[in-house]
Structure 1
Amino acid sequence: MSVILGIDIGGSGIKGAPVDTATGQLQTERFRIPTPDGARPEDVRDVVRQLVEHFALPGAVGVTFPGIVQHGHTLSAANVDKGWIGLDADTLFTDATGHDVHLINDADAAGLAEAKFGAGAGVPGTVLVLTFGTGIGSALIQDGTLIPNTELGHLWLRDKHAETWASDRARELDDLNWKQWGKRVSTYLQHLELLFSPDLFIIGGGVSKRPEKWLPHLQLGRSRVVPAQLQNEAGIVGAAMMAAQTGGRTTRPTGPVVGQATVPRKLRADPTLEAKKTVAKKPSSSGKAAAGKKTTSKR
């Protein structure tokens, strides 16, 4: 049995539990610590360290992050401190805990878990897992393989930004009933259906606990829609799965820090060419005289 600690960083809480990655089952009750105000990297690092120490489980650790994760670096920070942008977060947590820590986007983690152990288990073809909460997270699965960092919550529907218009938070802020919210979600799903033609939509996040409220109001042309099965455990399970697949520390790409803006190095000019340009631009005395002399033309 391969038991790995999975940790899920959320907007209000950071929670973890040991996961049997062969079955997707949590081995103990989840342990939760409130997310520090502002979610600054150093504060979140300290909470993750507390969770690792609490469970005292040997081996690798999987951690979710609410943003783009590429080669261990966090590249976006929609709902957390901007200090995460361009940060080598794998190394930050690894150094703090003494364990090999591997990060994954939170929606991607949920997608992995649902595709393996939840509503997408055994479903061939294209599966889109969408988490509706403060924003909209997305995970694109093709025949069981994750295509990471799709960030489909940031699509625009004409003049509407998808996650600020159709998320669960938008439902609360705009005081929508479930039918009204279902109409917005249908518009969003129809757009995704046009782009990806998924065989199945899996709807996760907090709304997955009450599918009877919204599921009857969704209208799609071709794809099936079902609620997520793992609910609040999906992120923890998916994080542990990813850490199990990754194994030991991976070799990071060389070059600039991923996600940070870089200024192209200015090419050095050939000194001889620069000298020639200077000579060519300098007008001669005869040239000045010629320029000052008026000429007349014969008719």
Structure 2
Amino acid sequence: MQVLGIDIGGSGIKGSPVDTNTGEMLGERFRIPTPQPATKDAVLKTIGKIAKNFDWKGPVGCGFPGVIHKGVIATAANLDDSLKGVNLAEEVGKTVGRPAVVVNDADAAGLAIMRFGIGRDEEGLVMVITIGTGIGTAIFYNGALIPNSELGHAYLKLKKESKIQDAETLVSDSARKRDDISWKHWGGRFNEYLKLMERLVNPQLFILGGGAASKGDKFLKYLKVDTPVKTAALENRAGIIGAAMASREFGQ
């Protein structure tokens, strides 16, 4: 089955056709900067351009950075607030003239990692954490997705600090760059986040994805948690592949 996978992000909207039987992208990733402000009409126009670029006539799957309930946007933390309440699946379907499925973007990346990446055949409770501009989380039990965990927004209090903050403002890759800290310093922060996830979720395995996962040699040695940690290799392809997989797994 071939599906156009689209990964909607705060800085870019990316897409490519995907073979959902193999997880292979069938074209070069096509990226357009996320419009500012990222209103419904602007986002839909961008998605339409991506579909037109591939002359797409088939089903579409989208990953969106927020909580999604049956295609409807419940939260849009890094995009325009006017998107909340929009049935994005329905609107994308109208825009491209084909059936569309929309899921949380971290859930989409997790699907790719669990179906075609290092998470394949992993049983028990697995937590996928994507590290990039923000922190995304996807939880799977025996391969089945438990959607919309959004635990990148859990409250975290770092040692030696009195302030409690949204975790992704402290441990995302953008936070590392913003605060201009070393990988060792950032690794210590991220270790505290993983310890919090151990207390809250008790996973049997952490899988780290996103762009920063490819730099594991710089920070994995600073992680001191009881739960095994693995890094994914799909990196920025996972969101597109997983969005296409969502269309296959959750489409009508």
Tell me if TM exceeds 0.5: yes
Residue 93 of structure 1 aligns with which residue?
A: 92
**Would you say the 8 A contact 2:71–2:102 is kept in 1?**
yes
d(CA) in 1 for partners of 2:180 and 2:245?
37
- Please list every run of 5 or more consecutive structure 2 residues that lacks an aligned counterpart in the other structure: 158-163
d(CA) in 1 for partners of 2:165 and 2:67?
22
Aligned to 1:95, the other structure's residue is in SS state: helix
1:187 CA displacement: 0.6
d(CA) in 1 for partners of 2:57 and 2:97?
10
Residue 149 of structure 1 aligns with which residue?
A: 148
The CA deviation string for residues 125-164 of structure 1, in whole angstroms up to 9 with x for no partner, is: 1111111122211000111100000010111124232111
**Aligned 1:51-66 pairs, distance under 5 A:** 51-66=50-65
Residue 25 of structure 1 aligns with which residue?
A: 24
The CA deviation string for residues 173-222 of structure 1, in whole angstroms up to 9 with x for no partner, is: 2111001101111111011112222121111122012111111111102x
Aligned to 1:87, the other structure's residue is in SS state: coil
d(CA) in 1 for partners of 2:143 and 2:106?
15
**Would you say the 8 A contact 1:3–1:18 is kept in 2?**
yes
Larger Rg computed on CA atoms: 1
**Would you say the 8 A contact 1:4–1:57 is kept in 2?**
no
2:249 maps to a residue whose letter is Q
Aligned to 2:112, the other structure's residue is in SS state: helix
**Counterpart pick for 2:221 among 216, 224, 235:** 216
**Counterpart pick for 1:230 among 222, 226, 234:** 234
2:75 maps to a residue whose letter is S
d(CA) in 2 for partners of 1:10 and 1:209?
19
2:219 maps to a residue whose letter is W
2:23 maps to a residue whose letter is G
**Would you say the 8 A contact 1:135–1:153 is kept in 2?**
yes
Runs of 4+ in 1 over 2 A off after TM superposition: 56-59
d(CA) in 2 for partners of 1:50 and 1:87?
20
**Aligned 1:123-134 pairs, distance under 5 A:** 123-134=122-133
The CA deviation string for residues 243-286 of structure 1, in whole angstroms up to 9 with x for no partner, is: 012333xxxxxxxxxxxxxxxxxxxxxxxxxxxxxxxxxxxxxx
- Please list every run of 5 or more consecutive structure 1 residues that lacks an aligned counterpart in the other structure: 249-299
Whether 1:243 and 2:252 are equivalent positions in the alignment is no
**Counterpart pick for 1:196 among 179, 201, 215:** 201
d(CA) in 2 for partners of 1:7 and 1:220?
34
d(CA) in 2 for partners of 1:69 and 1:247?
14
Residue 177 of structure 1 aligns with which residue?
A: 182
d(CA) in 1 for partners of 2:105 and 2:171?
19
d(CA) in 1 for partners of 2:25 and 2:127?
24
The CA deviation string for residues 46-73 of structure 1, in whole angstroms up to 9 with x for no partner, is: 0101111221233210011111111110
TM-score by length of 2: 0.94
Q: Bigger relative contact order, structure 1 or 2, given CA contacts below 8 A and separation 6+?
A: 2
Residue 68 of structure 2 aligns with which residue?
A: 69
1:38 CA displacement: 1.8
Aligned to 1:240, the other structure's residue is in SS state: helix
d(CA) in 2 for partners of 1:247 and 1:139?
19
Identity level (%): 46
d(CA) in 2 for partners of 1:161 and 1:31?
32
d(CA) in 1 for partners of 2:180 and 2:33?
27
Count of aligned pairs between the two proteins: 246
1:231 CA displacement: 0.5
Whether 1:162 and 2:167 are equivalent positions in the alignment is yes
**Aligned 1:253-264 pairs, distance under 5 A:** none
d(CA) in 2 for partners of 1:146 and 1:56?
31
**RMSD value, Cα:** 1.1
d(CA) in 2 for partners of 1:201 and 1:170?
21
Higher mean displacement: 113-122 or 160-169: 160-169
d(CA) in 1 for partners of 2:20 and 2:96?
21
